[in-house]
Structure 1
Amino acid sequence: MKAGFFALLAPLVLAAPALAEEISIEGARMSRDFACEDGQDVVISGAENHVSLTGRCGVVKVLGSKHGLSFEAADALVVSGISIQAEGKAVGNLVVEVTKNRVRTTVKPSAERAKVDVSGADQEVELTLAGPTQIEMQGAKNVLRWRAAPDVKPPSVSASGIENQISRY
Protein backbone atom coordinates (compact mmCIF):
# COMPACT_ATOMS: atom_id res chain seq x y z
CA MET A 1 0.00 0.00 0.00
CA LYS A 2 2.77 2.46 0.89
CA ALA A 3 4.60 1.79 -2.39
CA GLY A 4 1.45 2.65 -4.35
CA PHE A 5 1.00 5.89 -2.41
CA PHE A 6 4.59 6.96 -3.04
CA ALA A 7 4.29 6.02 -6.70
CA LEU A 8 1.33 8.43 -6.99
CA LEU A 9 3.09 11.14 -4.98
CA ALA A 10 6.44 11.03 -6.84
CA PRO A 11 5.22 12.65 -10.10
CA LEU A 12 3.60 15.47 -8.11
CA VAL A 13 6.78 16.18 -6.16
CA LEU A 14 8.92 16.08 -9.29
CA ALA A 15 6.50 18.34 -11.19
CA ALA A 16 6.40 20.98 -8.42
CA PRO A 17 8.30 24.11 -9.41
CA ALA A 18 11.54 24.68 -7.55
CA LEU A 19 11.42 27.70 -5.29
CA ALA A 20 14.41 30.01 -5.38
CA GLU A 21 16.40 29.96 -2.17
CA GLU A 22 16.44 33.04 0.01
CA ILE A 23 19.30 35.44 -0.53
CA SER A 24 21.05 35.93 2.81
CA ILE A 25 23.71 38.57 3.42
CA GLU A 26 25.31 38.47 6.86
CA GLY A 27 28.35 40.31 8.10
CA ALA A 28 29.86 43.76 8.22
CA ARG A 29 30.99 46.33 5.67
CA MET A 30 30.30 44.22 2.57
CA SER A 31 29.22 45.59 -0.78
CA ARG A 32 27.15 43.21 -2.94
CA ASP A 33 24.85 43.23 -5.96
CA PHE A 34 22.17 40.56 -6.37
CA ALA A 35 19.45 39.78 -8.89
CA CYS A 36 16.19 38.53 -7.37
CA GLU A 37 14.50 35.73 -9.29
CA ASP A 38 10.69 35.87 -9.43
CA GLY A 39 9.89 37.01 -5.92
CA GLN A 40 12.95 35.67 -4.14
CA ASP A 41 13.13 36.69 -0.45
CA VAL A 42 16.17 38.57 0.86
CA VAL A 43 17.58 38.99 4.39
CA ILE A 44 20.35 41.48 5.11
CA SER A 45 21.82 41.44 8.62
CA GLY A 46 24.86 42.69 10.44
CA ALA A 47 26.24 46.20 10.07
CA GLU A 48 27.27 48.65 7.38
CA ASN A 49 26.53 46.43 4.38
CA HIS A 50 25.73 48.07 1.04
CA VAL A 51 23.44 45.96 -1.12
CA SER A 52 21.88 46.58 -4.54
CA LEU A 53 18.98 44.35 -5.63
CA THR A 54 17.68 44.11 -9.18
CA GLY A 55 14.57 42.35 -10.41
CA ARG A 56 11.40 41.66 -8.43
CA CYS A 57 12.13 40.46 -4.90
CA GLY A 58 9.67 38.92 -2.46
CA VAL A 59 10.02 40.02 1.17
CA VAL A 60 13.19 42.02 1.79
CA LYS A 61 14.25 42.25 5.45
CA VAL A 62 17.02 44.63 6.50
CA LEU A 63 18.13 44.00 10.09
CA GLY A 64 20.99 45.57 12.01
CA SER A 65 22.62 48.94 11.66
CA LYS A 66 23.96 51.41 9.12
CA HIS A 67 23.08 49.37 6.02
CA GLY A 68 22.55 50.95 2.61
CA LEU A 69 20.03 49.27 0.30
CA SER A 70 18.85 50.04 -3.21
CA PHE A 71 16.25 47.86 -4.92
CA GLU A 72 14.04 47.77 -7.98
CA ALA A 73 10.89 46.09 -6.66
CA ALA A 74 9.83 44.13 -3.57
CA ASP A 75 6.54 42.61 -2.50
CA ALA A 76 7.33 43.88 1.01
CA LEU A 77 10.17 45.73 2.72
CA VAL A 78 10.92 45.41 6.44
CA VAL A 79 13.51 47.82 7.83
CA SER A 80 14.29 46.95 11.46
CA GLY A 81 17.37 48.45 13.01
CA ILE A 82 19.34 51.63 13.49
CA SER A 83 20.42 54.15 10.83
CA ILE A 84 19.47 52.04 7.81
CA GLN A 85 18.99 53.80 4.46
CA ALA A 86 16.79 52.10 1.86
CA GLU A 87 15.73 53.45 -1.51
CA GLY A 88 13.70 51.61 -4.12
CA LYS A 89 11.49 51.99 -7.15
CA ALA A 90 8.46 50.03 -5.87
CA VAL A 91 7.24 48.14 -2.83
CA GLY A 92 3.92 46.46 -2.03
CA ASN A 93 3.96 46.87 1.77
CA LEU A 94 6.39 48.59 4.13
CA VAL A 95 7.42 48.24 7.79
CA VAL A 96 9.95 50.63 9.36
CA GLU A 97 10.86 50.08 13.02
CA VAL A 98 13.45 50.79 15.74
CA THR A 99 15.25 54.14 15.15
CA LYS A 100 16.85 56.66 12.76
CA ASN A 101 16.05 54.79 9.54
CA ARG A 102 15.54 56.56 6.20
CA VAL A 103 13.34 55.04 3.51
CA ARG A 104 12.33 56.42 0.10
CA THR A 105 10.18 54.43 -2.33
CA THR A 106 6.97 54.20 -4.33
CA VAL A 107 4.18 52.17 -2.71
CA LYS A 108 2.32 50.08 -5.30
CA PRO A 109 -0.42 47.94 -3.77
CA SER A 110 -0.33 44.34 -4.90
CA ALA A 111 -3.70 43.63 -3.29
CA GLU A 112 -6.63 45.93 -2.55
CA ARG A 113 -4.58 48.26 -0.36
CA ALA A 114 -0.94 48.65 0.57
CA LYS A 115 -0.02 48.85 4.23
CA VAL A 116 2.70 51.11 5.65
CA ASP A 117 3.61 50.69 9.33
CA VAL A 118 6.12 53.08 10.93
CA SER A 119 7.10 52.75 14.60
CA GLY A 120 10.02 53.49 16.86
CA ALA A 121 11.70 56.88 16.89
CA ASP A 122 13.30 59.40 14.55
CA GLN A 123 12.34 57.61 11.30
CA GLU A 124 12.21 59.54 8.01
CA VAL A 125 9.99 58.03 5.33
CA GLU A 126 9.27 59.56 1.91
CA LEU A 127 6.65 57.82 -0.21
CA THR A 128 5.06 58.17 -3.60
CA LEU A 129 1.65 56.47 -3.46
CA ALA A 130 0.55 54.62 -6.59
CA GLY A 131 -2.73 53.28 -5.22
CA PRO A 132 -4.85 52.86 -2.07
CA THR A 133 -2.64 52.91 1.02
CA GLN A 134 -3.19 52.56 4.75
CA ILE A 135 -0.60 54.28 6.97
CA GLU A 136 -0.14 53.45 10.66
CA MET A 137 2.36 55.38 12.74
CA GLN A 138 3.35 54.94 16.38
CA GLY A 139 6.35 56.04 18.40
CA ALA A 140 8.09 59.37 18.70
CA LYS A 141 9.47 62.04 16.37
CA ASN A 142 8.83 60.09 13.18
CA VAL A 143 8.35 61.96 9.90
CA LEU A 144 6.43 60.56 6.93
CA ARG A 145 5.98 62.63 3.77
CA TRP A 146 3.86 61.37 0.90
CA ARG A 147 2.75 62.42 -2.54
CA ALA A 148 0.42 60.88 -5.08
CA ALA A 149 -0.91 61.44 -8.57
CA PRO A 150 -4.22 63.39 -8.75
CA ASP A 151 -6.16 60.18 -9.45
CA VAL A 152 -4.86 58.44 -6.28
CA LYS A 153 -6.88 59.05 -3.12
CA PRO A 154 -5.10 60.26 0.02
CA PRO A 155 -4.08 57.42 2.34
CA SER A 156 -6.09 56.36 5.36
CA VAL A 157 -4.04 57.27 8.42
CA SER A 158 -3.88 56.03 12.01
CA ALA A 159 -1.34 57.72 14.28
CA SER A 160 -0.38 57.73 17.93
CA GLY A 161 2.69 58.69 19.90
CA ILE A 162 4.63 61.91 20.45
CA GLU A 163 5.68 64.56 17.93
CA ASN A 164 5.03 62.40 14.84
CA GLN A 165 4.45 64.20 11.52
CA ILE A 166 2.58 62.94 8.48
CA SER A 167 2.30 65.37 5.60
CA ARG A 168 1.77 65.65 1.86
CA TYR A 169 4.60 67.21 -0.14
Structure 2
Amino acid sequence: MKPTLPVLLAILLAPTLAHAEDIAIAGIGQSRDFTCNGEDVAISGQGHTVALKGSCGAIAVHGSGHTVTFEEATSLAVSGAQNKANGGTTGNVTVETAENSISAKVHAGETPAEIDVSGADHMIELELTGPAKIEVGGAKNTLNWTAAAEVRAPSISTSGIENRIVKR
Protein backbone atom coordinates (compact mmCIF):
# COMPACT_ATOMS: atom_id res chain seq x y z
CA MET A 1 0.00 0.00 0.00
CA LYS A 2 1.47 3.35 -1.08
CA PRO A 3 1.33 6.29 1.33
CA THR A 4 -0.55 9.30 0.00
CA LEU A 5 1.05 12.70 -0.53
CA PRO A 6 -0.56 14.27 2.59
CA VAL A 7 0.74 11.40 4.74
CA LEU A 8 4.27 11.77 3.33
CA LEU A 9 4.20 15.54 3.90
CA ALA A 10 3.01 15.07 7.48
CA ILE A 11 5.86 12.64 8.16
CA LEU A 12 8.48 14.92 6.58
CA LEU A 13 7.26 18.10 8.26
CA ALA A 14 6.59 16.70 11.74
CA PRO A 15 10.10 17.38 13.13
CA THR A 16 10.02 20.91 11.70
CA LEU A 17 6.63 21.69 13.18
CA ALA A 18 7.64 20.37 16.58
CA HIS A 19 10.61 22.77 16.82
CA ALA A 20 9.77 26.03 18.56
CA GLU A 21 10.38 29.30 16.75
CA ASP A 22 13.25 31.42 18.03
CA ILE A 23 12.54 34.71 19.82
CA ALA A 24 14.03 37.80 18.12
CA ILE A 25 13.94 41.38 19.35
CA ALA A 26 15.40 44.08 17.09
CA GLY A 27 15.17 47.82 16.65
CA ILE A 28 15.33 50.49 19.34
CA GLY A 29 13.77 50.76 22.79
CA GLN A 30 11.50 47.71 22.89
CA SER A 31 10.19 46.60 26.27
CA ARG A 32 9.10 42.96 26.16
CA ASP A 33 8.41 39.98 28.41
CA PHE A 34 8.61 36.44 27.03
CA THR A 35 8.17 32.95 28.38
CA CYS A 36 10.75 30.59 26.89
CA ASN A 37 10.03 26.96 26.14
CA GLY A 38 13.50 26.04 24.91
CA GLU A 39 13.70 28.73 22.21
CA ASP A 40 16.93 30.54 21.38
CA VAL A 41 16.73 34.29 21.95
CA ALA A 42 18.42 36.96 19.80
CA ILE A 43 18.39 40.57 20.98
CA SER A 44 19.90 43.23 18.74
CA GLY A 45 19.69 46.97 18.24
CA GLN A 46 19.75 49.48 21.06
CA GLY A 47 18.10 50.08 24.41
CA HIS A 48 15.74 47.13 24.83
CA THR A 49 14.41 45.94 28.20
CA VAL A 50 13.65 42.22 28.00
CA ALA A 51 12.47 39.83 30.74
CA LEU A 52 12.75 36.13 29.87
CA LYS A 53 10.86 33.64 32.02
CA GLY A 54 11.17 29.87 31.85
CA SER A 55 13.87 27.79 30.19
CA CYS A 56 15.51 29.46 27.16
CA GLY A 57 17.96 28.00 24.68
CA ALA A 58 20.97 30.14 23.79
CA ILE A 59 20.60 33.85 24.57
CA ALA A 60 22.55 36.24 22.31
CA VAL A 61 22.62 39.95 23.13
CA HIS A 62 24.18 42.27 20.52
CA GLY A 63 24.13 46.05 20.30
CA SER A 64 24.11 48.56 23.13
CA GLY A 65 22.19 49.65 26.17
CA HIS A 66 20.05 46.53 26.62
CA THR A 67 18.78 45.29 29.99
CA VAL A 68 18.01 41.57 29.96
CA THR A 69 16.82 39.36 32.80
CA PHE A 70 16.43 35.60 32.45
CA GLU A 71 15.61 32.58 34.60
CA GLU A 72 17.44 29.82 32.72
CA ALA A 73 19.44 29.50 29.48
CA THR A 74 21.70 26.94 27.84
CA SER A 75 24.27 29.70 27.15
CA LEU A 76 24.68 33.48 27.27
CA ALA A 77 26.64 35.56 24.74
CA VAL A 78 26.83 39.35 25.14
CA SER A 79 28.60 41.66 22.71
CA GLY A 80 28.37 45.38 22.16
CA ALA A 81 28.53 48.10 24.78
CA GLN A 82 26.82 48.90 28.06
CA ASN A 83 24.50 45.88 28.08
CA LYS A 84 23.24 44.37 31.35
CA ALA A 85 22.31 40.70 31.64
CA ASN A 86 21.13 39.37 34.99
CA GLY A 87 19.98 35.87 35.31
CA GLY A 88 19.33 32.72 37.08
CA THR A 89 21.22 29.83 35.56
CA THR A 90 23.15 29.47 32.31
CA GLY A 91 25.76 27.24 30.73
CA ASN A 92 28.66 28.80 28.82
CA VAL A 93 29.16 32.58 29.02
CA THR A 94 30.83 34.79 26.39
CA VAL A 95 31.29 38.54 26.92
CA GLU A 96 32.84 40.81 24.26
CA THR A 97 33.38 44.49 23.32
CA ALA A 98 33.02 47.04 26.19
CA GLU A 99 31.36 47.98 29.46
CA ASN A 100 28.92 45.09 29.76
CA SER A 101 27.59 43.98 33.14
CA ILE A 102 26.74 40.30 33.70
CA SER A 103 25.41 38.48 36.77
CA ALA A 104 24.48 34.78 36.59
CA LYS A 105 24.76 31.32 38.08
CA VAL A 106 26.86 29.07 35.80
CA HIS A 107 26.27 25.33 35.68
CA ALA A 108 28.32 22.72 33.91
CA GLY A 109 27.05 19.86 31.82
CA GLU A 110 29.11 16.77 31.02
CA THR A 111 32.07 19.07 30.36
CA PRO A 112 33.16 22.14 32.33
CA ALA A 113 31.29 25.38 31.60
CA GLU A 114 33.35 27.77 29.47
CA ILE A 115 33.53 31.45 30.39
CA ASP A 116 35.26 33.63 27.79
CA VAL A 117 35.75 37.37 28.38
CA SER A 118 37.41 39.78 25.93
CA GLY A 119 37.17 43.49 25.24
CA ALA A 120 37.34 46.13 27.96
CA ASP A 121 35.78 47.37 31.18
CA HIS A 122 33.30 44.54 31.79
CA MET A 123 31.90 43.83 35.28
CA ILE A 124 31.01 40.14 35.69
CA GLU A 125 29.60 38.38 38.78
CA LEU A 126 29.30 34.58 38.53
CA GLU A 127 28.27 31.82 40.91
CA LEU A 128 29.82 28.54 39.77
CA THR A 129 27.87 25.37 40.53
CA GLY A 130 30.30 22.94 38.89
CA PRO A 131 33.57 22.69 36.96
CA ALA A 132 34.45 25.72 34.83
CA LYS A 133 37.16 27.05 32.55
CA ILE A 134 37.63 30.83 32.70
CA GLU A 135 39.56 32.78 30.08
CA VAL A 136 39.88 36.55 30.45
CA GLY A 137 41.64 38.77 27.91
CA GLY A 138 41.37 42.38 26.89
CA ALA A 139 41.75 45.28 29.30
CA LYS A 140 40.40 46.32 32.69
CA ASN A 141 37.80 43.55 32.99
CA THR A 142 36.59 42.49 36.44
CA LEU A 143 35.31 38.95 37.03
CA ASN A 144 34.18 38.05 40.55
CA TRP A 145 33.21 34.44 41.18
CA THR A 146 31.86 32.37 44.03
CA ALA A 147 31.31 28.65 44.48
CA ALA A 148 30.18 26.31 47.23
CA ALA A 149 32.96 24.57 49.17
CA GLU A 150 32.38 21.27 47.31
CA VAL A 151 32.87 22.90 43.88
CA ARG A 152 36.41 22.64 42.56
CA ALA A 153 38.08 25.95 41.72
CA PRO A 154 37.90 26.78 37.99
CA SER A 155 40.88 26.65 35.68
CA ILE A 156 41.77 30.26 34.88
CA SER A 157 43.74 31.71 31.97
CA THR A 158 44.42 35.43 31.65
CA SER A 159 46.03 37.78 29.19
CA GLY A 160 45.75 41.47 28.41
CA ILE A 161 46.07 44.50 30.65
CA GLU A 162 44.84 45.16 34.19
CA ASN A 163 42.24 42.40 34.31
CA ARG A 164 41.00 41.39 37.76
CA ILE A 165 39.68 37.92 38.68
CA VAL A 166 38.62 37.50 42.30
CA LYS A 167 37.04 34.68 44.30
CA ARG A 168 34.46 36.16 46.69
Quickly name the TM-score band, shorter chain normalised: over 0.9
Is the aligned partner of 1:47 residue 2:21?
no
Contact 1:42–1:61 under 8 Å retained in 2: yes
Structure 1 unmatched runs, 5+: none
Distance in 1 (alpha carbons) for counterparts of 2:13 and 2:66 = 39
Percent identical residues = 46
Structure 2 unmatched runs, 5+: none
Aligned residues: 165
**Matched ranges for 1:86-165 at <5 A:** 86-165=85-164
Distance in 2 (alpha carbons) for counterparts of 1:19 and 1:111 = 24
Task: Please report the RMSD computed on the Cα atoms of aligned residues, expressed in angstroms.
Answer: 1.7
User: After the TM superposition, which segments of 4 or more aligned residues of structure 1 sit over 3 Å from their partners?
Assistant: 6-12
Shift of 1:35: 0.6
Distance in 2 (alpha carbons) for counterparts of 1:83 and 1:44 = 14
What is the identity, as a one-letter code, of the residue corresponding to 1:18?
Answer: A
What is the identity, as a one-letter code, of the residue corresponding to 1:54?
Answer: K
TM-score between the two structures when normalised by the length of structure 2 = 0.92
Shift of 1:18: 1.4
Distance in 1 (alpha carbons) for counterparts of 2:24 and 2:13 = 26
What is the identity, as a one-letter code, of the residue corresponding to 2:130?
Answer: G
TM-score between the two structures when normalised by the length of structure 1 = 0.92
Moved more, 144-153 or 103-112: 103-112
Alpha-carbon distance change, 22 to 153 in structure 1, aligned in 2, over 3 angstroms: same
